[in-house]
Amino acid sequence: MRFGLFGGATAQGSDVVIDSSRDYRHYVDYVCAAEALGFHSVFMVEHHFTGFNQVSASLTFLSYLAARTSRMRLGTAVAVLPWHNPVLLAEQAATVDLLSGGRLDFGVGRGYRHSEFAGFCIPMDEAEERYNEALAVIRKAWTTDGRFSHHGRRWHYEDVVVEPAPTQRPHPPLWVGAGNPEVIRAVAQDGIRVLLDQLSTPEVSGRRLAAYRDAVEAQGRTFDPMHVGLTRGLHLALNRGERDRQHALRAQFLDHVRRLTLNPAAAMGTLASAAAADPREATEATTLIGDPDEIIARLRALEALGIEYVLLMDLEGSLATLETFAREVMPAFAPRADAAVAA
C-alpha cells in the first residue's frame, strides 16, 4: 500500500484574520516533510471564494513544490475545467510537468460547489458541456505534433501550438473524481485514472474500485491498483478527548463545505448523504480515526477490498500526526522482504 496527501493549505486555528502566508509556508513544510518520510504524492485541491483559505491556484502552488521536492508525484484534485481557458491550462500544466521532471498527475473535474459557479458567473447546468470540450482541447493540445485548430461551442483556436510540451508522453496521467459506477467504467475505458471520494464507506469504495478494475480487464489490459486513489480523512486520536475534538473539527469542516454548495441538488451525492447522516457515525464509518493500531485495522479492511493507494487528508496539517503515521502505521504496509525476493 502506498500513501499520499490530499488537500492543501487551509486556515489554521480560529483566527478571524487569515494569514495566508503562514498557512502556505506551513503546508510547503508539511509536504517536504512527507516526502522525507516516504509519502508517494500530494494532490492539491482547487477552490474559490471559500472564506477559509483553501488553495485556489493549485498549479502555481505545485510549481513551487516542484522546486522544493525531488521524488513526490504532484497532483491536482482537481483542476475544474469549466472555469478555465483549456489552452492556457494545458500550457500551465505542461510547465509544471516540465519543471518537476515529469511528476505531474493531472486531475480534472466538473466542479460541484454552487458558490464557485455563481462567483464566476457560469451556470452550473453548463458544467458538463464545458468540461467535455475543455478536456478534448487539452488532450488534442498535448498529443498533436505541431500546430492544431479547434472550433467548438465554447472555444475556438486557429493554428496554435501549446508550449512547452509536457515531459511525460503522450501527456501526464489524467485523473477524474468519480463515484457513479457507469462514469467509473467509462473513465476506465478511456484510460483515465480515478480518484474516489473521502465520504463513502469502505464497502462502497470497494465496489467502485471493482467496477474500475473490471472495465480495465474487459479491454484486455492489466489493472494497476495505483490507478485508483482513495481519499481518507486522517484523525489521530489517542484518547476520548482527542477523538471528540477530531469529530468536532470534521463536522465543522463538512458543514462549511455544505453551505458553500448552497443548492443541495448541485452537491455530490456522497456529500448530500453525509449531510443527512449523523456526523459522528459518518466519521467513524469513513475516516481513519483512532490510535495507530485502530488506523492500521481500518487500512487492513480497505486493503482487503483491493484498495492499495490511499490519500490522507489531515484537516490540521499536523507534522506530529504525519510523523506518527509514518513511524507507526506505514511500516505495517511496507513490502515484505520475502515478497521482494520472490519478485
pLDDT exceeding 70 applies to what percent of the chain? 91
List the one residue out of 171, 270, 173, 283 whose CA is nearest residue 228.
173
Domain edges within the chain: 2-342
Residues of the chain falling short of pLDDT 70: 11-18, 262-277, 336-343
AA identity, residue 250? R
Using CB atoms within 10 Å of the CB of residue 287, give its burial: 0 to 12 exposed, 13 to 18 middle, 19+ buried: buried
pLDDT of 276: 53
Structural fold of domain 2-342: TIM Barrel (3.20.20)
Category of 101 on φ-ψ map: left (φ > 0), alpha (ψ -120 to 50) or beta: left
Q: Transcribe 98-120 into DSSP letters.
A: HHTTS-EEEEEE----HHHHHHT
pLDDT of 258: 84
Using CB atoms within 10 Å of the CB of residue 127, give its burial: 0 to 12 exposed, 13 to 18 middle, 19+ buried: buried
**Residue 262, all three cell numbers:** 448552497
Using CB atoms within 10 Å of the CB of residue 303, give its burial: 0 to 12 exposed, 13 to 18 middle, 19+ buried: middle
- How far apart are the C-alpha atoms of 106 and 97, rounded to whole Å? 9
- How far apart are the C-alpha atoms of 272 and 254, rounded to whole Å? 10
- How far apart are the C-alpha atoms of 302 and 201, rounded to whole Å? 10
Residue 131 sits at the vertex; the CA angle it makes with 130 and 134, to the nearest 5 degrees, is 80
Contacts of 218 (CB under 8 A, 6+ apart): none
pLDDT of 338: 44
pLDDT of 51: 85
pLDDT of 253: 86
Contacts of 12 (CB under 8 A, 6+ apart): 22, 23, 26, 316, 317
